[in-house]
Every structure is written in structure tokens, then in C-alpha cells.
Structure 1
């Protein structure tokens, strides 16, 4: 199954972020995985994602390892522009889900683990306290899009967690203007 859509939304009544990932089955039906991202988990998840992005730069472009933070910022800006240009941020999340492999109730995620290799998608394993969980593969563009969704939902939550991208373009993309 191929990843079809991602959504991260703030659920005020739970004071959590609801993460939804849908997949298209071979017969065209949609399947969905659901997970809660708490404020506590987000404080661990965000730096881990940033570290993963910088590590991926060092794996994919060893000659540019010295500038990995700046490259992550530039890649983030380029990825978000690409996603916007293709209209993917404007596409509504499809809700006609036919199957929930892990159940309709979201899993309460307590830990995440990353696996990465040169020129390969980043794999993130989302695990609840008990057994189970799920693993998703993210291309770098998808991972940057996921970061944008997380940032937007966390801003809605008003958790006062600084979710900044590294590098100069990450700061300007967040609304800061720099003069040279």
C-alpha cells in the first residue's frame, strides 16, 4: 500500500494532536492509521525529526555535511513550495475510510524511532506504551510536509513550543525577514 494522505489536527477536547495517515489499497479503497501526539511527545519528536533531517543530508551529500543545518532549511523551504505548487496542502483529507487496520481509536504514541539510510526514505516507527504501533516511510518532501502540518497544528494548540527549522531559510519561511 502506498501512503495517500497525511493530516495533523489539534483536538481541543483531548488537548492532543490527532495524526491520521491514509493508504490506498490495490482495490482503490482507503485504509487509515490514527495516533495521538501529546505535547510531551512533540517536545521529543521535533528535535528528533530535525536531527534525522540533518543526518539524512550527511548521508546523501557527505561533501555538504558541514552545512547540513542550512541545507535542511533550504530543503524545507523548497519542499513546502513544491507541495503548495502541486496543490497538496489545498486538498481536503478524504474521510471515506473503509478499513482501520489498528482500530478506529487513535493509538496513544509514547515513543518514536527513526531508521535511515543514504538515498532511502526515512522510516519512522510510532509506538504506544503497550505492544503494536506502526511504521511509515517518508520521502524527504513528505517529511518536510509532515513538519509543516505538525507546526500548524501545534500553533493551533497554543502549546508555546518553538518548532523552528534550522538554517536561514527556515527562519525566513517562518515569517522573519533578514536584511543583508
Structure 2
């Protein structure tokens, strides 16, 4: 299955973030998987994301491992800017799905496991308490877009969570000596 779109939206009536991921199946049909993220799980997910992004820099650029926090921040800015310029953030989430492989009702994510290898997309395996979860592989640019969407959803939730990326302060905001 080929990743098509990701949407993260805060749902106040549930006090959760709804994660919708759509995929193109081998036959070309659009399939969607839905999952709930609680405040607690979102905080844990964020910590894991930061850790794997920094570790990925060390895997992909061992000579620059000492600057991995700064590199994550620079990659984040460049990726999000590129996605904005391409219109990726402005596209509406496609609602015309052919099916829901794990059911139309979102499942509650209770664990997230990460997988990574040098030169490959980071994999996230979302696991519910019972039943099947799903794994999604996110190339670096998509992963940074995901982080941006998650930060936006959490800001709307007003959960008092600080989702900061290392080295991701606004460009030009530092002091040079």
C-alpha cells in the first residue's frame, strides 16, 4: 500500500486527536485507517519522534552525529517549507475511501513502536490494547510534515503540552557573536 494522505485533528467532544491515514491499495482504491491519540500517548509519541529523528541523523550522517539536534531542526524547517510551497498542507483530506481495513471506528493507540535503518524511512507501528494496529513508513519530509500537523492539533487541544523539536527555533532568532 502506498501512503496517500495524513490528517491529524483535535476532536473536542472526545478530547483526543483523530489520526486519519489513507493509502492507495494495489488495485488503486483508497483505504483509510483511523486512530485516536490521547494527551498521554501524544506526549509519549512526541518524545519517541524526537529520539528517532536524532538517531536517524546519526545513522544517515555519522560524521555529523555531534550536531544531530541542529540538523533535525534545519531538516524540519526545510521540509515544512517545501510542503507549504508545494501545497501539500492546503489539500483537503479525501473523503471518498473505498474501505477501512481496521474498521470505520478509530482504534485507541496505547503503544507506538519505532523502527529505523540507515537510509530508510522511519516506521511507526501503532498498537491498540487489543486487535490489530498498523505500521506506517514515513520518509523524512513526510515525517516532518506529520510533526507539524501534530503540533497544530495539540495547540488546538490546549493540553499544555510543549511539542518542541531540538534545534528548531525560528530561523534568524539566535544571537551570533
TM-score (normalised: structure 1): 0.95
1:165, distance to aligned residue in structure 2 (A): 1.1
Secondary structure of the 1:89 match is helix
Query: What 5-or-longer segments of structure 1 have no aligned partner?
Result: none
Secondary structure of the 2:163 match is coil
Distance in 2, Cα, partners of 1:118 & 1:27? 30
1:134, distance to aligned residue in structure 2 (A): 0.5
Q: Equivalent residue for 1:32? A: 32
Q: CA RMSD in A?
A: 1.2
| Pairing 1:142–2:142 present | yes
Q: Equivalent residue for 1:177? A: 173
Query: What 5-or-longer segments of structure 2 have no aligned partner?
Result: none
Name the count of aligned residue pairs.
176
Secondary structure of the 2:45 match is helix
Distance in 2, Cα, partners of 1:138 & 1:65? 21
Instruction: Map 1:43-82; keep pairs closer than 5 Å.
Output: 43-82=43-82
Poorly superposed stretches of 4+, deviation over 4 Å: none
| Pairing 1:113–2:109 present | no
